[in-house]
Amino acid sequence: MTLPDSYTTYPHRREGYDHQFYEWSNMHQRKAVQWPGGKSVAVWLCVSLEWFPITPEDKPFRAPGHMVTPYPDYRHYTVRDYGNRIGVWRILDAFKTAGVKASFATNSAIAERYPELIEAILGEGHEIIAHSIDMNHTITSELPEHEERALIEASLATLEQAIGTKPNGWHSIARSQSWRTADLLAEQGLTYCCDWVNDELPYRFQNGLINLPLNTELSDRTIVATQQHSAEAWAQMMRDAFDWLAAEAKGNNYAVGGGRLLPIHLTPYILGQPFRISAVEQLLNDFAQREDAWIATGADIVAEWERQQ
């Protein structure tokens, strides 16, 4: 049997991927990035502030971390609520002690329910980026365009009212986007998103939107909650990643020199626990004292990268 020529024809097939969102680029073929003060590694702390409705939506899919047992699932619901009542305040204290700034990916429902938390985050000079409405509002291509646009607009409008300015960044629930999401985010005037995890530096979409990679392998949800490592093991993994990136920034073989990015994704109900928070504090204090570490918000990292392009 002979296959017709059309069987192997695909209009988007090209080097590296099968889409047209951005140009393919190997790290070693790019212009080197230089972080402020000659720092070699930009450390980006990103905290997820999530509000879980007590009954999850399974369409288009259930968000990671959502309720598990028959509803009402008070056990899992209150664990997540612990993060917003207690855990996040410990993380804020850890940031203040280390003298570092972070980005808080925030469900707009958080701004409505915990205004004192938003006030504290802004008062400490941290950045707030949009993280949908709540953990029932995921995005996939099954969602009609008008509904997706309305979801994004509602999230941004609520946060803008709470913080006084429209957020610069966007983080989708479960890092899930539709075929249209990047264009809808650009349509709203956002500078960057952090859903695509395929790099260790920012890069630009064809429509002008910038992606700031938030590596899921380095998240506490993956390492601590899913893989069941200790907080101390998590912290050592962050140090190992930093050391490797700092050495790589000096340039050898295919690892051309220049600045690198280490995203550290934190979840308050996971690392805000009293038996884990000391590992966070020690790691932050360690990084804050390293001469080759630039700890910055997502907006600052994107702005510096964009200035050099």
Query: In sequence order, what are the residues at sequence separation of 6 or more whose Cβ sits closer than 8 angstroms to the Cβ of residue 280?
Result: 91, 94, 231, 235, 266, 271
Task: Report yes or no on 293 lying in a domain.
Answer: yes
CA–CA separation, 160 and 112 (whole Å): 11
Q: CA-to-CA distance for 204 and 23, rounded, in angstroms?
A: 8
- Three-point CA angle 137, 300, 183, nearest 5°: 40
The pLDDT assigned to 26 comes to 86
Looking at the domain assignment, is residue 200 inside a domain? yes
Residues 206-234: what's their mean pLDDT?
96
pTM greater than 0.75: yes
- The reply to whether 54 falls in a domain is yes
Instruction: Residue 183: give its domain's CATH number.
Output: 3.20.20.370
Task: List the domain range (segments joined by +) for residue 58.
Answer: 33-307
CA 299 to chain centre: 12
pLDDT at 28: 81
pLDDT, one tens digit per residue, over 99-117 is: 999 999 999 999 999 999 9
42 strand-pairing partners? 261, 294
Whether 59 is in a domain gets the answer yes
Q: Per the domain annotation, does 260 fall within a domain?
A: yes
Rounded CA-CA distance 159/161 in Å is 5
Does a structural domain hold residue 20?
no
Alpha-carbon span 227 to 219, nearest angstrom: 11
- Would you state the pLDDT for residue 183? 97
Domain count for the chain, please give it: 1
Q: Is residue 73 part of a domain?
A: yes
> Each residue of 47-93: pLDDT tens digit?
999 999 998 888 778 888 888 888 899 999 999 999 999 999 999 99
Is the residue at 281 inside a domain? yes
**4 pLDDT tier (thresholds 50, 70, 90):** confident
Residues 48, 87: Cα–Cα separation, whole Å: 12
153-163, pLDDT tens digit by residue? 999 999 999 99
Give the position of tokens 């539709």.
178
